[in-house]
Structure 1
Amino acid sequence: MPNLVEIRNLHFSYGARPILSGLQMDFPRGKVVAVMGGSGSGKTTILRLIGGQLRQQSGTVNVDGQMVQNLGNKELYVLRRKMGMLFQHGALFTDLTVFENVAFPLREHTNLPEELLRDMVLMKLHAVGLRNAAQLKPSEVSGGMARRVALARAIALDPQLIMYDEPFAGLDPISMGVTANIIRRLNDVLGSTSILVSHDVHESFSIADYVYFLSQGKIVAHGTPTEMRNSSDPYVKQFVNAEPDGPVPFHQPGKSLAEDLGLGGR
């Protein structure tokens, strides 16, 4: 199967509120695919459906030949062994050292001897430039460094699939560039598939092979970063160029200010 992840005709809602409608998405092996869109467009929900944290109302999510929605807890646990996840804002264990944060998935999923585990953790930290920060606590490192620790934890098991939930949020420009370069380099070195959920156009376009744009739970455009930069689609143009008004309006739809103030048509 050329695609590690395939989503077909997927519909998901929270109660009566639809979140995703009729999604068709492919995530090829060895590629970095960005999923972009405004806040509340359903980007993070896609990651949760791929990881089996949520179950869709209809449609399929296929990961490495397995239908995620049909798996029980034990089977999901095994499948997640092939996944790495970088949570928004890192989500590090604050009481554990940098070393123990990265060691956590190795202790959870393997029975490696301590010496080998130590070597693997230090190699992962070295890959993100933080081997010498191994004994620090998360509170003792910067926000950009903490994000890199979380990235080292996400790749601890050399996963086939790495999912990134807003990896650039809250970072300064230098940290954003460093993080983007690491994501691309690790994807190529590991031969993994990376799904990058983000609203940061510049960094995402610089490393992605393909881009999906979501709006109101639907795919409104998709293509290579170059195709998206040159797109004439109104939503894509508004998003890429950070325009304040367009298909996504500046004002919340509803009554006019004049009506609210009781001025009628005056």
Structure 2
Amino acid sequence: MTSDSLVEIRDLHFAYDDRPILSGINMRFPKGKVVAIMGGSGCGKTTLLNLIGGQLRPSSGEVRVAGHEVAAMKEAELYALRRRMGMLFQFGALFTDMSVFDNVAFPIREHAGLPESLVADLVDMKLQAVGLRGAARLMPRELSGGMARRVALARAVALDPMLVMYDEPFTGLDPISLGIIGQLIRKLTDALGATSIMVTHDIQESLLIVDYIYFMSNGKVVAEGTPEQIRNSTDPFVYQFVHAQADGPVPFHYPAPPIASLLEPRRA
């Protein structure tokens, strides 16, 4: 592993039974950077996050986090590694029967062994960082979608993780909330010195905050680059994705016989 990489993926292959999902993936995630993984639905993006977190094991190849091969770690070692990771799930996944305060306090109480007075101080600081200290006693049902995502972000960074993974953090948000979440991801990454890996479809917001982007299609990396390189790319797949074109390497039409071949017999 190179010294500036927190996560490194080498020649990674993964399949569910005989159905290949990932094929020959190579990626690097440097320390202190925000890196996006993009691509169409079903191309293997979320599977990659599960492999990094150790919920899945590769068919072949390596996933290394902080110098450790994840698949080779024993259960206790893996749990210790996960305590240094944060995860923001799609739609937030807050505990619905816990207050905002208790949601953010949950990982601290589970893993830190601190007195409750210190837990309260830490929760207040995390909620302050996302602008929601005043909402500490609210329940998740009382929050807007954007507020819930910000609480989930505060929970994800509650233990000052070295790695934070985001699974579609912008889904379902209005433009204001989307911009807030994007800026918080950038600011918290910089403040913590963490590495952020973001699976997302939102190309325009991502180009504003990320340091590097990988594009995936059919389980492979088909393009990569900095935001500036991606904006100026003439690669057909990247161009279609960035400019939201209906047709291109990802076709508009599902494979079917030419329409003319169906009409001619009917006219006969």
Normalising by the residue count of structure 1, what TM-score does the alignment of the two structures yield?
0.97
Task: Give the Cα separation in 2 of the matches to 1:153 and 1:188.
Answer: 17
Tell me which residue corresponds to 1:195: 197
1:88-136 deviation per Cα after TM superposition (whole angstroms, max 9, x unaligned): 1101100000011101111111110000000001100000000010010
Mapped to 2, the partners of 1:136 and 1:60 lie a distance apart of 43
In 1, distance between residues paired with 2:261 and 2:92?
45
> Structure 1 262/78 Cα, relative in aligned 2: closer, same or farther at 3 Å?
farther
Q: 2:58 aligns with which of 19, 44, 56?
A: 56
**Which string of whole-angstrom CA distances, capped at 9 and with x for unpartnered residues, describes residues 135-177 of structure 1?**
1010001000000000000000000000000000000000000
- Name the CA distance, whole Å, in 1 between partners of 2:73 and 2:259: 51
Q: Structure 2: where are the runs of 5+ without partners?
A: none
Segments of 4+ moved more than 6 angstroms: none
Cα shift readout 1:56-104 (whole Å, capped 9, x = no counterpart): 1000000001100111221110000110000011011000000111011
TM-aligned CA deviation for residue 265 of structure 1 = 10
Partner of 1:44: 46
Contact between 1:258 and 1:264, CA under 8 Å: does it hold in 2?
Answer: no
* Unmatched tracts of structure 1, length 5 or more: none
Could you tell me which residue of structure 2 aligns to residue 234 of structure 1? 236
1:203-214 correspondence to structure 2 within 5 Å: 203-214=205-216
Mark the CA change 1:260 to 1:151 in structure 2 (over 3 Å): closer, same or farther: farther
Change in CA separation of 1:15 and 1:120 when aligned onto 2, cut-off 3 Å: same
Count residues in correspondence.
Answer: 266
C-alpha distance in 2, partners of 1:18/1:200?
Answer: 26
SS, match of residue 127 in structure 2? helix
| Structure 2 CA distance for partners of 1:256 and 1:205, relative to 1, 3 Å | same
Superposed CA RMSD: 1.5
C-alpha spacing 1:234/1:90, structure 2 compared with 1 (3 Å): same
In the aligned structure 2, how far is the partner of 1:6 from the partner of 1:101?
Answer: 31
Contact 1:162 1:195 in 2 (8 A): yes
Alpha-carbon separation, structure 2, partners of 1:144 and 1:52: 29
**2:188 alignment partner in structure 1:** 186
Q: Alpha-carbon deviations, 1:151-205, whole Å to 9, x = none?
A: 0000000000000000000000000000000000000000000001101011111
User: Take 2:32 and 2:263, find their aligned partners in 1: how far apart are those partners?
Assistant: 57
For residues 118-137 of structure 1, the aligned pairs below 5 Å read 118-137=120-139
